[in-house]
Amino acid sequence: MQTLRASKNGLTWIKKSRNQKGWTVDSDKWLLEATKILEPNRKDGQPFAEGISEGTWKRFLAGKYPINANAFRAYCQVLSLNWEEVIDKTNPEDRTGIWIPNLRCRRVWGREILTTEVLNYLKDPQQPLILSLNGTAGYGKTEAACQIAQTALEQNLFADVLWVTARQSEFVDGTLSQTNQDDTLTWNQFINQIAHQLSCTQQKVQEKLREQKILVVLDNAETSNIEEILPRLVKMLNPSRALLTSRIEKKVPYLGLKHVPGLEQRWSYALLQDEAKNNNISALLNASERNLQRIYELSCGAPLALHFIVGRVWYDEDLEPVLSSLEEASGEVENFYKFSLENAWKHLNDSAKNVLRYMGQQADAGITLDELLGTQKIERSDWCVAKRELKQWYLIQNVTDVEGNYRYDLHPWVRRSLRSGLVDNWQPDLQELENIAQWKLGINW
């Protein structure tokens, strides 16, 4: 089957044409119009044409992975673009960075200085061969690492980037919880993934890492057996380098440490405004300087906390009462996360809760819609409402796996919270149900 993907210039044209259409990215209109092109006689209400799906549409927009050629041409026609001018004509074997995950957000805000500092570190031959990005959950370590890796390739600092993600398991008091000890990423699992990405045997990995300067990224390193992995990995490096993301600091001579702080105030404001414009949240668009300052202080500049606030304001359609209630959770940022997740959980319908529970316990690498429907945790007819609720509360994210498949995934902190059983104790009390009914439906109990 022939497959195609867009070039960098093609992606620019795609974005411009999409904006001119005025439809939202998630609108079914793209899929319906593409279906009409491929199968003009298909009746309304029937499934989309072969190759036309939410997944191929998202991959088409991202341009990282190729899609079915017929679907690619149809999407281009919907956008009034000449597909031959849009396609990437480079040899697939020459592509780099394919193992870097797609961002879980539309943009990484305020990490330019961090990116520059890390790249300067990785270029310095006097520095340790491995650098660890450390910080609290929800501070955007993975997104920062993605930006660093992409920038490193753009600046030709590395021949390629390899990426291994350890399992997102429950982490308690600085260690992996006893019930999740078997989830620890071992050396054999790690080196097997590296060998796969290098298309070589495990015995040839060191040779490959010595031949070219390659950046090896280990994400969620705290849930890997770093005492086993790091001493063996460091012996394989030079000129290659390694970058970790971790919630804990490991102090050894061959490992450098770099703290990932919360966003600066101006970047927190930029993130809020971008989300407010994208979702037409007037309460945030018209927020006063004082309330923006309160949001920044409550969130500590943590991107996850900022997104949770956006979700709550989006639902409540008012900012002041949201801030007043969130101030009850001020202090430790993880307490703020728990407070926000609890509030979201109490407002989700049962179908959305079923999806979250399953994804938290079973779907380590995210899940496709077909896989989710196959579990019988939700009916197709209920999915649109459940998805809208989960996205509104910023609980699920759109990602693409290493094979280019479009999946739904959870933020690591949300997954860990679900696995720990945190949500099992949360049920709305009668007073809260009464308040919700009165406010949303005008019902007095």
Q: Domain boundary at 346, 368, 401, which?
A: 346
Nearest CA to 344 out of 387, 311, 299 is that of 311
pLDDT of residue 320: 87
pLDDT at 363 (0 to 100): 63
CATH number at residue 392: 1.10.10.10
pLDDT at 63: 84
> Are 289 and 363 within one domain?
no
Based on the domain organization, do 196 and 270 belong to the same domain?
no
pLDDT of residue 194: 95
Cα–Cα distance for residue pair 164/152, rounded to 1 Å: 17
- Containing 143, the helix (H) or strand (E) segment is helix 141-154
Amino acid 173: pLDDT: 40
Residues 432 and 296: their CA atoms lie apart, in Å, by 27
Strand partners, 215: 161, 241
> Do 120 and 30 share a structural domain?
no
The DSSP letter of residue 250 is -
Per-position b or e across 97-122, b if 16+ CB within 10 A of its CB: bebbbbbbbeebbbbeebbeebbebb
| Residue 107 belongs to a domain | no
Question: Tell me, what's the pLDDT at 291?
Answer: 92
Is 445 a member of any domain? no
Is 150 inside any structural domain? yes
CATH code for position 224: 3.40.50.300
Q: Are residues 138 and 180 in the same domain?
A: yes
Asked whether 42 and 36 are in contact (CB, 8 A), the reply is yes
Q: What order of strands is seen across the sheet that includes strand 130-134? A: 160-165, 214-219, 241-246, 130-134, 255-259
For residues 193 and 139, is the Cβ–Cβ distance under 8 A?
Answer: no
Would you state the pLDDT for residue 171? 43
8-state DSSP, 422: G
- Looking at the structure, tell me whether residues 178 and 213 fall in a common domain: yes
Residues 301 and 370 in one domain: no
The range of the structural domain enclosing residue 41 comes to: 3-90
CA atoms of 222 and 185, how far apart (whole Å):
9
Question: Does 408 reside within a domain?
Answer: yes
Could you tell me if 158 and 143 lie in one domain? yes
Of 336, 343, 427, 438, give the one whose Cα is nearest residue 389.
343
Q: Hey, how many other C-beta atoms are within 10 angstroms of the C-beta on 325?
A: 13
For 244, the enclosing helix (H) or strand (E) is: strand 241-246
Are 298 and 389 part of one and the same domain? no
pLDDT for 339 equals 84
Residue 164 and residue 30 share a domain: no
Q: Is residue 415 part of a domain?
A: yes
Is there a single domain that holds both residue 161 and residue 284? no
Q: Give yes or no: residues 273 and 401 share one domain.
A: no
| Measured CA distances, 413 to 136, 140, 420 (Å) | 10, 11, 11
Q: What is the DSSP letter of 6?
A: B
Residue 433 lies in a domain: no
- Of 331, 346, 361, the residue that ends a domain is 346
Angle formed at CA 187 by CA 191 and CA 261, multiple of 5 degrees: 95
* pLDDT per residue rounded down to tens, the chain (445 residues): 578 889 989 999 999 999 999 888 888 889 999 999 998 887 665 668 888 888 788 889 988 778 888 999 999 999 999 999 999 987 655 678 888 887 777 788 999 999 999 999 999 999 999 999 999 889 999 999 999 999 999 899 999 999 999 875 444 444 444 344 456 899 999 999 999 999 899 999 999 999 999 999 999 999 899 999 999 999 999 999 999 999 888 888 899 999 999 999 999 999 999 999 888 899 999 999 999 999 998 888 999 999 999 998 998 888 988 888 778 766 677 788 888 888 899 889 999 999 998 888 876 668 888 888 888 888 888 888 999 899 889 998 877 665 666 788 888 888 888 888 777 766 544 444 455 445 444 555 4
| Sign, Cα dihedral of 177, 183, 188, 190 | negative
Residue 214 counted as domain residue: yes
- The answer to whether the Cα torsion of 162, 167, 170, 176 is positive or negative is negative
User: DSSP for 54-116?
Assistant: HHHHHHHHH-SS-EEHHHHHHHHHHTT--HHHHB--S-GGG---TTSPPPSSS---S-HHHHH
How many domains, the chain? 4
**Cα–Cα nearest to 413, from 186, 222, 136:** 136
Q: Which amino acid type is present at position 86?
A: V
In a domain, 441, yes or no: no
CATH label of the domain that carries residue 36: 1.10.260
Residues 138 and 229 in one domain: yes
